Structure 1
Amino acid sequence: MKRQKMIMILACLLIVSLLPILYFSDFTQTKQVSTITKPVVEIVPEAEEEIQQTEVEENNSQTITEEIKEKVREAIKGTINLFKKDLRIVAIGDSLTEGIGDQTESGGYVGILNHTFEDNQLNISIENYGKKGNRTDQLLKRLDQDDITSAIKKADIILITIGANDVMKVVKDNFLSLTMEPFNREIDEFEDRLRSIFYKMNELNPDVHIYLIGFYNPFEQYFGNIEELGMIMTTWNEAGKAVTEEFENVSYIPTADLFVPSDTELLADDRFHPNTLGYKRMAKRILEEIDEFEIDTEITIEDN
Protein backbone atom coordinates (compact mmCIF):
# COMPACT_ATOMS: atom_id res chain seq x y z
CA MET A 1 0.00 0.00 0.00
CA LYS A 2 2.85 2.38 0.86
CA ARG A 3 4.53 1.69 -2.48
CA GLN A 4 1.25 2.32 -4.33
CA LYS A 5 0.84 5.68 -2.59
CA MET A 6 4.37 6.60 -3.60
CA ILE A 7 3.61 5.72 -7.20
CA MET A 8 0.50 7.93 -7.11
CA ILE A 9 2.60 10.78 -5.76
CA LEU A 10 5.09 10.17 -8.55
CA ALA A 11 2.35 10.33 -11.17
CA CYS A 12 1.02 13.60 -9.78
CA LEU A 13 4.49 15.15 -9.83
CA LEU A 14 5.12 14.01 -13.38
CA ILE A 15 1.85 15.45 -14.66
CA VAL A 16 2.30 18.73 -12.78
CA SER A 17 5.83 19.05 -14.14
CA LEU A 18 4.59 18.61 -17.71
CA LEU A 19 1.68 21.06 -17.48
CA PRO A 20 3.76 24.09 -18.63
CA ILE A 21 4.84 22.14 -21.70
CA LEU A 22 1.39 20.80 -22.53
CA TYR A 23 -0.38 24.16 -22.22
CA PHE A 24 2.25 26.51 -23.62
CA SER A 25 0.84 26.45 -27.16
CA ASP A 26 -2.70 27.12 -25.87
CA PHE A 27 -1.43 30.10 -23.90
CA THR A 28 0.28 31.48 -26.99
CA GLN A 29 -2.88 31.19 -29.06
CA THR A 30 -4.95 32.91 -26.35
CA LYS A 31 -2.46 35.74 -26.15
CA GLN A 32 -2.62 36.25 -29.90
CA VAL A 33 -6.41 36.38 -29.91
CA SER A 34 -6.51 38.94 -27.09
CA THR A 35 -4.10 41.14 -29.02
CA ILE A 36 -6.31 41.10 -32.07
CA THR A 37 -9.52 41.95 -30.22
CA LYS A 38 -8.28 44.72 -27.90
CA PRO A 39 -10.21 48.01 -28.20
CA VAL A 40 -8.95 50.96 -30.21
CA VAL A 41 -7.55 53.79 -28.06
CA GLU A 42 -7.37 57.38 -29.28
CA ILE A 43 -3.79 58.69 -29.08
CA VAL A 44 -3.03 62.37 -28.54
CA PRO A 45 -0.04 63.84 -30.49
CA GLU A 46 2.30 63.95 -27.46
CA ALA A 47 1.54 60.35 -26.53
CA GLU A 48 1.91 59.25 -30.14
CA GLU A 49 5.45 60.69 -30.28
CA GLU A 50 6.39 58.82 -27.10
CA ILE A 51 4.94 55.56 -28.45
CA GLN A 52 6.86 55.94 -31.71
CA GLN A 53 10.09 56.49 -29.77
CA THR A 54 9.36 53.39 -27.66
CA GLU A 55 8.70 51.28 -30.76
CA VAL A 56 12.02 52.41 -32.28
CA GLU A 57 13.87 51.42 -29.09
CA GLU A 58 12.11 48.04 -28.99
CA ASN A 59 12.93 47.35 -32.64
CA ASN A 60 16.59 48.27 -32.06
CA SER A 61 16.67 45.96 -29.03
CA GLN A 62 15.17 43.07 -31.02
CA THR A 63 17.67 43.64 -33.84
CA ILE A 64 20.61 43.59 -31.40
CA THR A 65 19.27 40.40 -29.78
CA GLU A 66 18.97 38.68 -33.15
CA GLU A 67 22.49 39.74 -34.14
CA ILE A 68 23.92 38.41 -30.87
CA LYS A 69 22.08 35.10 -31.30
CA GLU A 70 23.45 34.71 -34.81
CA LYS A 71 27.00 35.21 -33.53
CA VAL A 72 26.69 32.60 -30.76
CA ARG A 73 28.59 29.44 -31.63
CA GLU A 74 28.41 26.75 -28.99
CA ALA A 75 31.23 24.28 -29.58
CA ILE A 76 33.49 21.97 -27.61
CA LYS A 77 37.17 22.83 -27.35
CA GLY A 78 39.67 20.13 -28.24
CA THR A 79 41.42 18.38 -31.11
CA ILE A 80 39.51 15.68 -32.96
CA ASN A 81 40.73 13.41 -35.76
CA LEU A 82 38.89 10.92 -37.93
CA PHE A 83 39.68 7.39 -38.94
CA LYS A 84 37.84 8.16 -42.18
CA LYS A 85 38.21 11.26 -44.33
CA ASP A 86 34.53 12.07 -44.66
CA LEU A 87 31.52 11.10 -42.58
CA ARG A 88 27.78 11.42 -42.88
CA ILE A 89 25.78 11.44 -39.66
CA VAL A 90 22.02 11.11 -39.25
CA ALA A 91 20.58 12.24 -35.91
CA ILE A 92 17.04 11.04 -35.31
CA GLY A 93 14.59 10.62 -32.44
CA ASP A 94 12.71 12.83 -30.01
CA SER A 95 13.01 16.37 -28.63
CA LEU A 96 16.55 15.75 -27.35
CA THR A 97 17.68 15.40 -30.95
CA GLU A 98 15.52 18.31 -32.11
CA GLY A 99 17.27 20.46 -29.50
CA ILE A 100 14.30 21.68 -27.44
CA GLY A 101 15.55 23.78 -24.51
CA ASP A 102 18.72 25.07 -26.19
CA GLN A 103 18.72 28.82 -25.43
CA THR A 104 20.82 29.56 -28.51
CA GLU A 105 18.25 27.78 -30.71
CA SER A 106 21.08 26.19 -32.67
CA GLY A 107 19.90 22.58 -32.49
CA GLY A 108 21.01 21.26 -29.10
CA TYR A 109 23.73 18.60 -29.08
CA VAL A 110 23.45 18.20 -32.87
CA GLY A 111 24.21 21.88 -33.48
CA ILE A 112 27.07 21.81 -30.97
CA LEU A 113 28.58 18.79 -32.71
CA ASN A 114 28.25 20.52 -36.06
CA HIS A 115 30.04 23.66 -34.81
CA THR A 116 32.76 21.51 -33.22
CA PHE A 117 33.37 19.70 -36.51
CA GLU A 118 33.57 23.02 -38.33
CA ASP A 119 36.07 24.41 -35.79
CA ASN A 120 38.23 21.30 -36.31
CA GLN A 121 37.88 21.62 -40.10
CA LEU A 122 36.32 18.18 -40.43
CA ASN A 123 34.28 17.29 -43.48
CA ILE A 124 31.27 15.88 -41.63
CA SER A 125 27.63 16.44 -42.53
CA ILE A 126 24.83 16.03 -39.99
CA GLU A 127 21.15 15.70 -40.87
CA ASN A 128 18.77 16.30 -37.97
CA TYR A 129 15.48 14.37 -37.95
CA GLY A 130 14.59 14.97 -34.31
CA LYS A 131 10.89 15.40 -33.60
CA LYS A 132 9.44 16.50 -30.29
CA GLY A 133 7.28 13.86 -28.57
CA ASN A 134 8.48 10.91 -30.66
CA ARG A 135 8.09 7.44 -29.14
CA THR A 136 9.57 4.19 -30.42
CA ASP A 137 6.37 3.24 -32.28
CA GLN A 138 6.28 6.62 -34.03
CA LEU A 139 9.98 6.54 -34.89
CA LEU A 140 9.56 3.07 -36.39
CA LYS A 141 6.88 4.42 -38.74
CA ARG A 142 9.00 7.43 -39.69
CA LEU A 143 11.71 5.12 -41.01
CA ASP A 144 9.46 4.50 -44.02
CA GLN A 145 9.49 8.17 -45.04
CA ASP A 146 11.42 8.73 -48.25
CA ASP A 147 13.73 11.47 -46.96
CA ILE A 148 14.67 9.52 -43.82
CA THR A 149 15.12 6.27 -45.76
CA SER A 150 17.42 8.01 -48.23
CA ALA A 151 19.46 9.65 -45.47
CA ILE A 152 19.97 6.37 -43.58
CA LYS A 153 21.13 4.57 -46.72
CA LYS A 154 23.93 7.12 -47.12
CA ALA A 155 24.86 7.45 -43.43
CA ASP A 156 28.06 6.27 -41.76
CA ILE A 157 26.73 6.97 -38.26
CA ILE A 158 23.23 7.18 -36.78
CA LEU A 159 22.59 8.89 -33.43
CA ILE A 160 19.27 8.10 -31.71
CA THR A 161 17.51 9.57 -28.68
CA ILE A 162 14.30 7.67 -27.92
CA GLY A 163 12.44 6.13 -24.99
CA ALA A 164 11.60 8.94 -22.56
CA ASN A 165 8.24 9.58 -24.21
CA ASP A 166 7.43 5.86 -24.00
CA VAL A 167 7.78 6.17 -20.22
CA MET A 168 5.58 9.27 -20.12
CA LYS A 169 2.88 7.53 -22.14
CA VAL A 170 2.65 4.81 -19.48
CA VAL A 171 2.19 7.52 -16.84
CA LYS A 172 -0.60 9.27 -18.75
CA ASP A 173 -2.41 6.06 -19.72
CA ASN A 174 -2.46 4.74 -16.15
CA PHE A 175 -2.67 7.96 -14.17
CA LEU A 176 -5.68 6.99 -12.05
CA SER A 177 -4.29 3.59 -11.04
CA LEU A 178 -0.55 3.86 -11.44
CA THR A 179 1.65 1.05 -10.11
CA MET A 180 4.93 -0.51 -11.19
CA GLU A 181 3.08 -3.25 -13.08
CA PRO A 182 2.24 -1.27 -16.27
CA PHE A 183 5.86 -0.10 -16.51
CA ASN A 184 7.11 -3.67 -16.20
CA ARG A 185 4.59 -4.85 -18.79
CA GLU A 186 5.30 -2.06 -21.28
CA ILE A 187 9.07 -2.39 -21.09
CA ASP A 188 8.91 -5.67 -23.05
CA GLU A 189 7.01 -3.88 -25.83
CA PHE A 190 9.56 -1.07 -25.72
CA GLU A 191 12.40 -3.55 -26.24
CA ASP A 192 10.59 -5.18 -29.18
CA ARG A 193 10.01 -1.83 -30.90
CA LEU A 194 13.60 -0.73 -30.30
CA ARG A 195 14.83 -4.02 -31.72
CA SER A 196 12.64 -3.47 -34.81
CA ILE A 197 14.12 0.00 -35.27
CA PHE A 198 17.65 -1.42 -35.34
CA TYR A 199 16.64 -4.23 -37.72
CA LYS A 200 15.01 -1.73 -40.07
CA MET A 201 18.06 0.54 -40.09
CA ASN A 202 20.34 -2.42 -40.76
CA GLU A 203 18.16 -3.48 -43.68
CA LEU A 204 18.52 -0.01 -45.17
CA ASN A 205 22.25 0.22 -44.47
CA PRO A 206 24.17 -2.85 -43.20
CA ASP A 207 27.40 -0.85 -42.89
CA VAL A 208 26.10 1.91 -40.64
CA HIS A 209 27.15 2.24 -36.99
CA ILE A 210 24.18 3.04 -34.72
CA TYR A 211 24.50 4.77 -31.35
CA LEU A 212 21.58 4.76 -28.92
CA ILE A 213 21.89 7.71 -26.55
CA GLY A 214 20.42 6.90 -23.14
CA PHE A 215 18.07 9.32 -21.38
CA TYR A 216 18.40 10.95 -17.98
CA ASN A 217 16.08 11.53 -15.03
CA PRO A 218 14.88 15.16 -15.36
CA PHE A 219 13.13 15.00 -11.98
CA GLU A 220 16.09 13.82 -9.93
CA GLN A 221 17.11 17.31 -8.84
CA TYR A 222 13.78 18.00 -7.14
CA PHE A 223 12.26 14.54 -6.58
CA GLY A 224 15.36 12.44 -5.99
CA ASN A 225 13.82 11.06 -2.80
CA ILE A 226 11.18 9.19 -4.84
CA GLU A 227 13.01 5.91 -5.38
CA GLU A 228 10.42 4.50 -7.78
CA LEU A 229 11.06 7.27 -10.31
CA GLY A 230 14.78 6.57 -10.36
CA MET A 231 14.10 2.83 -10.61
CA ILE A 232 11.89 3.31 -13.66
CA MET A 233 14.40 5.47 -15.53
CA THR A 234 17.30 3.16 -14.67
CA THR A 235 15.38 0.03 -15.67
CA TRP A 236 14.37 1.45 -19.04
CA ASN A 237 17.91 2.62 -19.76
CA GLU A 238 19.21 -0.84 -18.91
CA ALA A 239 16.62 -2.36 -21.24
CA GLY A 240 17.77 -0.14 -24.11
CA LYS A 241 21.40 -0.98 -23.45
CA ALA A 242 20.61 -4.71 -23.40
CA VAL A 243 18.97 -4.48 -26.84
CA THR A 244 22.00 -2.69 -28.31
CA GLU A 245 24.22 -5.55 -27.15
CA GLU A 246 22.30 -7.92 -29.43
CA PHE A 247 23.73 -6.14 -32.50
CA GLU A 248 27.37 -5.93 -33.55
CA ASN A 249 26.98 -2.48 -35.07
CA VAL A 250 24.90 -0.86 -32.31
CA SER A 251 26.42 0.85 -29.26
CA TYR A 252 24.97 2.51 -26.16
CA ILE A 253 25.97 5.96 -24.88
CA PRO A 254 24.89 6.74 -21.29
CA THR A 255 23.93 10.28 -20.23
CA ALA A 256 22.15 9.82 -16.88
CA ASP A 257 25.31 10.55 -14.90
CA LEU A 258 25.72 13.89 -16.69
CA PHE A 259 22.57 15.31 -15.10
CA VAL A 260 22.98 14.33 -11.46
CA PRO A 261 22.02 17.13 -9.02
CA SER A 262 24.72 19.78 -8.66
CA ASP A 263 25.18 23.54 -8.30
CA THR A 264 25.35 23.84 -12.08
CA GLU A 265 21.99 24.31 -13.81
CA LEU A 266 21.70 21.88 -16.71
CA LEU A 267 17.96 22.00 -17.48
CA ALA A 268 15.96 24.54 -19.46
CA ASP A 269 13.17 26.69 -18.02
CA ASP A 270 10.65 23.89 -18.62
CA ARG A 271 12.60 21.78 -16.07
CA PHE A 272 12.44 18.85 -18.48
CA HIS A 273 14.82 19.40 -21.42
CA PRO A 274 18.54 20.21 -21.24
CA ASN A 275 19.68 23.79 -21.53
CA THR A 276 22.64 24.74 -23.73
CA LEU A 277 25.18 23.59 -21.14
CA GLY A 278 23.33 20.30 -20.70
CA TYR A 279 23.47 19.72 -24.44
CA LYS A 280 27.20 20.56 -24.45
CA ARG A 281 27.80 17.83 -21.90
CA MET A 282 25.83 15.40 -24.05
CA ALA A 283 27.84 16.39 -27.13
CA LYS A 284 31.12 15.89 -25.27
CA ARG A 285 30.07 12.42 -24.12
CA ILE A 286 28.99 11.48 -27.66
CA LEU A 287 32.35 12.53 -29.10
CA GLU A 288 34.16 10.49 -26.49
CA GLU A 289 32.08 7.38 -27.21
CA ILE A 290 31.96 7.36 -31.02
CA ASP A 291 34.48 4.84 -32.36
CA GLU A 292 35.06 6.73 -35.61
CA PHE A 293 36.64 9.67 -33.74
CA GLU A 294 40.07 9.92 -32.18
CA ILE A 295 40.51 12.59 -29.50
CA ASP A 296 44.10 13.90 -29.44
CA THR A 297 43.64 16.22 -26.45
CA GLU A 298 41.18 16.57 -23.60
CA ILE A 299 37.98 18.09 -24.97
CA THR A 300 36.49 20.68 -22.64
CA ILE A 301 33.29 22.62 -22.17
CA GLU A 302 32.72 26.01 -20.60
CA ASP A 303 30.13 26.09 -17.83
CA ASN A 304 28.63 29.44 -18.88
Structure 2
Amino acid sequence: MKRLIKYIISVLVVAAIAVSLWLYYPTYQIRQMKEETAPTSAQAALSYVDYFSNMDKETLTHLAIGDSIIAGFGSENEKSFVDDFSRLLEEQTGKTVALENEGILGINSTNLNTLVQRGAFDEQMKRADLITINVGGNDILEMLNQGDYKNVVANFDSMRGTFIQNLTAITEKIKQENPSATIVFLEMYNPLKQNHNLYKVADQLLPKWNVKIYETARQYEHSIVLETTKVINSQHLQYLSSDGVHPNALGYEALSKQMLKQLKKKPFIGSV
Protein backbone atom coordinates (compact mmCIF):
# COMPACT_ATOMS: atom_id res chain seq x y z
CA MET A 1 0.00 0.00 0.00
CA LYS A 2 2.83 2.38 0.89
CA ARG A 3 4.43 1.75 -2.50
CA LEU A 4 1.13 2.46 -4.22
CA ILE A 5 0.73 5.74 -2.32
CA LYS A 6 4.31 6.74 -3.18
CA TYR A 7 3.67 5.87 -6.81
CA ILE A 8 0.48 7.94 -6.93
CA ILE A 9 2.25 10.88 -5.28
CA SER A 10 5.11 10.62 -7.76
CA VAL A 11 2.71 10.59 -10.70
CA LEU A 12 0.87 13.62 -9.32
CA VAL A 13 4.14 15.52 -8.82
CA VAL A 14 5.30 14.74 -12.34
CA ALA A 15 1.91 15.77 -13.73
CA ALA A 16 2.00 19.02 -11.76
CA ILE A 17 5.50 19.81 -13.07
CA ALA A 18 4.43 19.01 -16.63
CA VAL A 19 1.40 21.30 -16.38
CA SER A 20 3.53 24.08 -14.88
CA LEU A 21 6.05 23.80 -17.70
CA TRP A 22 3.25 23.81 -20.30
CA LEU A 23 1.72 26.94 -18.79
CA TYR A 24 4.68 28.99 -17.61
CA TYR A 25 7.74 27.99 -19.65
CA PRO A 26 6.70 30.14 -22.66
CA THR A 27 6.64 33.21 -20.39
CA TYR A 28 10.17 32.35 -19.25
CA GLN A 29 11.29 31.87 -22.87
CA ILE A 30 9.91 35.26 -23.90
CA ARG A 31 11.70 36.94 -20.99
CA GLN A 32 14.96 35.24 -21.93
CA MET A 33 14.71 36.30 -25.57
CA LYS A 34 14.04 39.89 -24.50
CA GLU A 35 17.09 39.84 -22.24
CA GLU A 36 19.26 38.44 -25.02
CA THR A 37 18.50 41.48 -27.16
CA ALA A 38 19.34 44.08 -24.51
CA PRO A 39 21.93 46.41 -26.07
CA THR A 40 25.50 46.62 -24.80
CA SER A 41 27.08 50.04 -24.46
CA ALA A 42 28.86 49.56 -27.79
CA GLN A 43 25.74 48.47 -29.62
CA ALA A 44 23.53 51.21 -28.17
CA ALA A 45 25.27 53.79 -30.36
CA LEU A 46 23.00 52.93 -33.30
CA SER A 47 19.31 52.29 -32.74
CA TYR A 48 16.67 51.57 -35.36
CA VAL A 49 15.58 55.21 -35.26
CA ASP A 50 19.21 56.25 -35.78
CA TYR A 51 19.43 53.85 -38.70
CA PHE A 52 16.34 55.33 -40.35
CA SER A 53 17.63 58.85 -39.69
CA ASN A 54 20.94 58.04 -41.37
CA MET A 55 19.44 56.46 -44.47
CA ASP A 56 20.37 58.30 -47.65
CA LYS A 57 16.82 59.10 -48.68
CA GLU A 58 14.33 61.83 -47.90
CA THR A 59 11.28 59.57 -47.78
CA LEU A 60 10.89 56.36 -45.77
CA THR A 61 8.24 53.86 -46.79
CA HIS A 62 6.21 52.08 -44.11
CA LEU A 63 4.11 49.14 -45.28
CA ALA A 64 1.56 47.72 -42.82
CA ILE A 65 -0.24 44.44 -43.52
CA GLY A 66 -2.65 42.38 -41.48
CA ASP A 67 -6.02 42.61 -39.81
CA SER A 68 -8.30 45.16 -38.14
CA ILE A 69 -5.58 46.29 -35.70
CA ILE A 70 -3.55 47.43 -38.70
CA ALA A 71 -6.63 48.97 -40.32
CA GLY A 72 -7.39 50.95 -37.16
CA PHE A 73 -10.80 49.50 -36.36
CA GLY A 74 -12.18 50.96 -33.14
CA SER A 75 -10.44 54.30 -33.41
CA GLU A 76 -12.74 57.28 -33.06
CA ASN A 77 -10.58 59.34 -35.41
CA GLU A 78 -10.25 56.52 -37.97
CA LYS A 79 -6.47 56.41 -37.53
CA SER A 80 -4.55 53.28 -36.62
CA PHE A 81 -1.38 53.03 -34.61
CA VAL A 82 0.68 52.80 -37.80
CA ASP A 83 -0.66 56.23 -38.77
CA ASP A 84 0.37 57.59 -35.38
CA PHE A 85 3.73 55.83 -35.48
CA SER A 86 4.56 57.08 -38.97
CA ARG A 87 3.97 60.64 -37.76
CA LEU A 88 6.19 60.07 -34.74
CA LEU A 89 8.92 58.60 -36.94
CA GLU A 90 8.77 61.68 -39.16
CA GLU A 91 9.32 63.87 -36.11
CA GLN A 92 12.23 61.73 -34.90
CA THR A 93 14.05 61.40 -38.22
CA GLY A 94 13.18 64.65 -39.98
CA LYS A 95 12.15 62.60 -43.00
CA THR A 96 8.84 62.08 -44.74
CA VAL A 97 7.26 58.71 -43.93
CA ALA A 98 4.97 57.36 -46.64
CA LEU A 99 2.52 54.93 -45.05
CA GLU A 100 0.91 52.20 -47.14
CA ASN A 101 -1.78 50.69 -44.90
CA GLU A 102 -3.08 47.37 -46.23
CA GLY A 103 -5.03 46.31 -43.16
CA ILE A 104 -8.03 44.09 -43.96
CA LEU A 105 -10.89 43.66 -41.52
CA GLY A 106 -11.46 40.06 -40.44
CA ILE A 107 -8.49 38.52 -42.27
CA ASN A 108 -6.84 35.46 -40.74
CA SER A 109 -3.25 34.29 -41.14
CA THR A 110 -4.06 31.73 -43.86
CA ASN A 111 -5.82 34.28 -46.06
CA LEU A 112 -3.10 36.88 -45.51
CA ASN A 113 -0.44 34.34 -46.42
CA THR A 114 -2.40 33.46 -49.59
CA LEU A 115 -2.41 37.11 -50.64
CA VAL A 116 1.29 37.48 -49.88
CA GLN A 117 2.27 34.34 -51.82
CA ARG A 118 0.18 35.46 -54.80
CA GLY A 119 2.29 38.61 -54.95
CA ALA A 120 -0.40 41.06 -53.84
CA PHE A 121 2.16 43.17 -51.97
CA ASP A 122 5.36 42.39 -53.88
CA GLU A 123 5.98 45.88 -55.26
CA GLN A 124 5.20 47.48 -51.92
CA MET A 125 7.50 45.06 -50.10
CA LYS A 126 10.37 45.87 -52.46
CA ARG A 127 10.25 49.58 -51.69
CA ALA A 128 9.43 49.35 -47.98
CA ASP A 129 11.98 50.33 -45.36
CA LEU A 130 9.72 49.18 -42.54
CA ILE A 131 7.01 46.51 -42.60
CA THR A 132 4.57 46.08 -39.72
CA ILE A 133 2.54 42.85 -39.42
CA ASN A 134 -0.37 41.95 -37.18
CA VAL A 135 -2.41 38.83 -37.77
CA GLY A 136 -3.64 35.79 -35.83
CA GLY A 137 -6.45 37.18 -33.71
CA ASN A 138 -9.06 36.12 -36.22
CA ASP A 139 -7.59 32.61 -36.30
CA ILE A 140 -8.66 32.30 -32.67
CA LEU A 141 -11.96 34.12 -33.07
CA GLU A 142 -12.98 31.85 -35.96
CA MET A 143 -12.27 28.78 -33.83
CA LEU A 144 -14.20 30.34 -30.95
CA ASN A 145 -17.16 30.96 -33.23
CA GLN A 146 -17.26 27.24 -34.04
CA GLY A 147 -17.94 26.36 -30.41
CA ASP A 148 -16.95 27.63 -26.98
CA TYR A 149 -13.61 28.34 -25.34
CA LYS A 150 -13.11 24.58 -24.76
CA ASN A 151 -12.97 24.23 -28.54
CA VAL A 152 -10.13 26.76 -28.65
CA VAL A 153 -8.21 25.00 -25.87
CA ALA A 154 -8.65 21.56 -27.46
CA ASN A 155 -7.44 22.77 -30.86
CA PHE A 156 -4.92 25.34 -29.63
CA ASP A 157 -1.70 23.58 -30.62
CA SER A 158 -2.96 22.77 -34.11
CA MET A 159 -4.27 26.31 -34.62
CA ARG A 160 -1.02 27.81 -33.37
CA GLY A 161 0.97 25.54 -35.67
CA THR A 162 -0.99 26.71 -38.70
CA PHE A 163 -0.54 30.34 -37.64
CA ILE A 164 3.24 30.01 -37.29
CA GLN A 165 3.54 28.26 -40.64
CA ASN A 166 1.70 31.17 -42.22
CA LEU A 167 3.69 33.83 -40.37
CA THR A 168 6.98 32.16 -41.31
CA ALA A 169 5.95 31.93 -44.97
CA ILE A 170 4.93 35.60 -44.96
CA THR A 171 8.26 36.59 -43.44
CA GLU A 172 10.22 34.46 -45.89
CA LYS A 173 8.41 36.16 -48.76
CA ILE A 174 9.19 39.60 -47.36
CA LYS A 175 12.88 38.80 -46.98
CA GLN A 176 12.92 37.30 -50.46
CA GLU A 177 11.56 40.53 -51.94
CA ASN A 178 13.47 42.89 -49.64
CA PRO A 179 16.22 41.44 -47.42
CA SER A 180 17.01 44.80 -45.83
CA ALA A 181 13.48 45.67 -44.70
CA THR A 182 12.91 46.05 -40.97
CA ILE A 183 9.95 43.95 -39.79
CA VAL A 184 7.85 44.64 -36.69
CA PHE A 185 5.54 41.86 -35.49
CA LEU A 186 2.86 42.47 -32.85
CA GLU A 187 2.26 40.36 -29.77
CA MET A 188 -1.30 39.22 -29.19
CA TYR A 189 -2.79 40.84 -26.09
CA ASN A 190 -5.48 39.82 -23.60
CA PRO A 191 -8.26 42.45 -23.60
CA LEU A 192 -10.36 40.78 -20.88
CA LYS A 193 -11.00 42.10 -17.39
CA GLN A 194 -9.49 40.08 -14.57
CA ASN A 195 -12.92 39.11 -13.28
CA HIS A 196 -13.97 37.72 -16.66
CA ASN A 197 -14.51 33.96 -16.52
CA LEU A 198 -12.12 33.41 -19.45
CA TYR A 199 -9.37 35.81 -18.32
CA LYS A 200 -7.15 33.13 -16.76
CA VAL A 201 -7.54 30.81 -19.73
CA ALA A 202 -6.51 33.56 -22.15
CA ASP A 203 -3.68 34.70 -19.87
CA GLN A 204 -2.25 31.18 -19.80
CA LEU A 205 -2.57 30.49 -23.52
CA LEU A 206 -1.34 33.79 -24.96
CA PRO A 207 2.32 33.37 -23.89
CA LYS A 208 2.33 30.03 -25.73
CA TRP A 209 1.13 31.90 -28.81
CA ASN A 210 3.42 34.91 -28.42
CA VAL A 211 6.58 32.90 -27.82
CA LYS A 212 6.24 31.55 -31.37
CA ILE A 213 6.13 35.12 -32.69
CA TYR A 214 9.35 35.88 -30.81
CA GLU A 215 10.96 32.73 -32.16
CA THR A 216 10.00 33.75 -35.70
CA ALA A 217 11.45 37.24 -35.26
CA ARG A 218 14.62 35.74 -33.84
CA GLN A 219 15.26 33.86 -37.09
CA TYR A 220 15.48 36.97 -39.27
CA GLU A 221 17.76 39.98 -39.24
CA HIS A 222 16.20 43.34 -38.47
CA SER A 223 13.02 41.87 -37.00
CA ILE A 224 11.52 42.82 -33.65
CA VAL A 225 8.32 42.21 -31.69
CA LEU A 226 6.15 45.09 -30.50
CA GLU A 227 5.27 44.45 -26.85
CA THR A 228 1.56 45.20 -27.12
CA THR A 229 0.89 43.39 -23.84
CA LYS A 230 2.70 46.20 -22.01
CA VAL A 231 0.15 48.64 -23.40
CA ILE A 232 -3.17 46.79 -23.54
CA ASN A 233 -3.97 44.59 -20.58
CA SER A 234 -6.33 44.32 -17.62
CA GLN A 235 -4.67 47.34 -16.01
CA HIS A 236 -5.21 49.62 -19.02
CA LEU A 237 -8.76 48.95 -20.15
CA GLN A 238 -9.14 52.66 -20.97
CA TYR A 239 -7.28 51.85 -24.18
CA LEU A 240 -10.06 49.60 -25.48
CA SER A 241 -12.93 50.62 -27.74
CA SER A 242 -16.56 49.92 -26.88
CA ASP A 243 -16.35 46.40 -28.34
CA GLY A 244 -13.88 45.45 -25.61
CA VAL A 245 -11.42 43.92 -28.08
CA HIS A 246 -9.97 46.56 -30.40
CA PRO A 247 -7.99 49.57 -29.22
CA ASN A 248 -9.58 53.01 -29.26
CA ALA A 249 -7.77 56.13 -30.44
CA LEU A 250 -5.91 56.40 -27.12
CA GLY A 251 -4.94 52.74 -27.36
CA TYR A 252 -3.55 53.11 -30.86
CA GLU A 253 -1.63 56.20 -29.79
CA ALA A 254 -0.16 54.25 -26.85
CA LEU A 255 0.86 51.41 -29.18
CA SER A 256 2.59 53.85 -31.52
CA LYS A 257 4.55 55.33 -28.62
CA GLN A 258 5.56 51.86 -27.47
CA MET A 259 6.76 51.05 -30.98
CA LEU A 260 8.84 54.22 -31.14
CA LYS A 261 10.25 53.51 -27.68
CA GLN A 262 11.40 50.05 -28.74
CA LEU A 263 12.90 51.23 -32.02
CA LYS A 264 14.81 53.94 -30.15
CA LYS A 265 16.11 51.37 -27.68
CA LYS A 266 16.81 48.32 -29.84
CA PRO A 267 20.30 48.14 -31.36
CA PHE A 268 20.39 47.86 -35.13
CA ILE A 269 22.23 44.54 -35.31
CA GLY A 270 21.26 41.22 -36.88
CA SER A 271 18.28 39.35 -35.46
CA VAL A 272 16.73 41.27 -32.59
State TM-score, norm by structure 1: 0.63
Which residue of the other structure, out of 250, 258, 265, is the alignment partner of 1:277? 250
- Offset at residue 83 of structure 1 (A): 2.9
1:143 aligned counterpart, secondary structure: helix
- Counterpart in the other structure of 2:180: 207
State which structure, 1 or 2, has the greater radius of gyration over its C-alpha atoms: 1
Q: What aligned pairs does 1:32-51 form with structure 2 within 5 A after superposition?
A: none
State the aligned residue count: 214
1:223 aligned counterpart, secondary structure: coil
Distance 1:292 1:146, change over 3 A: farther
Amino acid at match of 2:72: G
Q: Supply the distance in 2 between the matched residues of 1:169 and 1:261 (Cα, whole angstroms).
A: 23
- Offset at residue 139 of structure 1 (A): 1.0
Distance 1:190 1:146, change over 3 A: closer
Unaligned runs of 5+ in 1: 1-79, 295-304
- Counterpart in the other structure of 2:170: 197
Which residue of the other structure, out of 218, 224, 228, is the alignment partner of 2:201? 228
Alpha-carbon displacement from aligned partner over 1:243-300 (angstroms, at most 9, x marks no partner): 2212223221211121223376111111111011111110011112226999xxxxxx
- Counterpart in the other structure of 1:109: 81
Question: Root-mean-square deviation (CA), in Å?
Answer: 2.6
Amino acid at match of 2:223: V
Unaligned runs of 5+ in 2: 1-48, 268-272
Q: Supply the distance in 2 between the matched residues of 1:263 and 1:170 (Cα, whole angstroms).
A: 27
Q: Supply the distance in 2 between the matched residues of 1:229 and 1:94 (Cα, whole angstroms).
A: 20
Distance 1:164 1:225, change over 3 A: closer
- Counterpart in the other structure of 1:162: 135
Alpha-carbon displacement from aligned partner over 1:70-129 (angstroms, at most 9, x marks no partner): xxxxxxxxxx76232542111111111100111111x21022123334555422211101
Q: Supply the distance in 2 between the matched residues of 1:98 and 1:236 (Cα, whole angstroms).
A: 22
- Counterpart in the other structure of 1:100: 73
- Offset at residue 225 of structure 1 (A): 6.6
Contact 1:267 1:273 in 2 (8 A): yes
Amino acid at match of 1:110: V
Q: Supply the distance in 2 between the matched residues of 1:170 and 1:128 (Cα, whole angstroms).
A: 27
Structure 1 vs Structure 2: percent identity of aligned residues? 23
State yes or no: 1:248 paired with 2:221.
yes
Deviates more, 1:81-90 or 1:247-256: 81-90
Q: Supply the distance in 2 between the matched residues of 1:214 and 1:282 (Cα, whole angstroms).
A: 11
State TM-score, norm by structure 2: 0.70
